[in-house]
Amino acid sequence: MNRRFALSLLFFLPILASCEPEKPMTEADKKPAKMPEIPAGAEVITLGAGCFWCIDAAYRQLEGVYSATSGYMGGTVENPTYDDICTGDSGHAEVVKVIFDPKKITTEKVIAWFWDLHDPTTLNRQGNDSGTQYRSAIFYHSEEQKKVAEASKAAAAANFKDPIVTEITKASKFYPAENYHQNYYQQNKSKNPYCRFVIEPKLKKLKLDH
Contacts of 152 (CB under 8 A, 6+ apart): 108, 111, 112, 115
Where does the pLDDT of residue 5 fall: very low under 50, low under 70, confident under 90, or very high at 90 and above? Answer: very low
pLDDT (0 to 100) of residue 170: 98
Average pLDDT over residues 108-114: 98
- Whether pLDDT at 7 is above 60: no
Q: Which residue pairs, CB below 8 angstroms and at least 24 apart, start in 103-111?
A: 103/41, 103/64, 104/63, 104/64, 105/62, 105/63, 105/64, 105/65, 107/43, 107/45, 107/144, 107/145, 107/148, 108/148, 108/152, 110/45, 110/59, 110/62, 110/65, 111/45, 111/138, 111/148, 111/149, 111/152
Average pLDDT over residues 71-88: 96
Pairing assessment for the beta strands 167-170 and 136-140 based on DSSP bridges: parallel
Mean per-residue pLDDT of the chain: 90
Catalytic member of 19, 51, 54, 195 = 51
In the chain, where are the structural domains located? 35-205
Residue 51 falls in the annotated catalytic set:
yes
Tell me the pTM.
0.89
Q: 172-187 as b/e, with b when 16 or more CB fall inside 10 Å?
A: eebbbbbbbbbbbbee
Q: 43-80 as b/e, with b when 16 or more CB fall inside 10 Å?
A: bbbbbbbbbbbbbbbbbbebeebbbbbbbbbbbeeeeb
pLDDT (0 to 100) of residue 10: 40
Give the class (CATH, top level) of 35-205.
alpha beta
For the segment 22-69, what is each residue's pLDDT rounded down to a tens digit? Answer: 457 899 999 999 999 999 999 999 999 999 999 999 999 999 999 999
pLDDT (0 to 100) of residue 24: 75
Share of the chain above pLDDT 90, in %: 85
What's the CA gap between 167 and 34, in Å, rounded? 27
What does the radius of gyration of the chain's CA atoms come to, in whole angstroms?
16
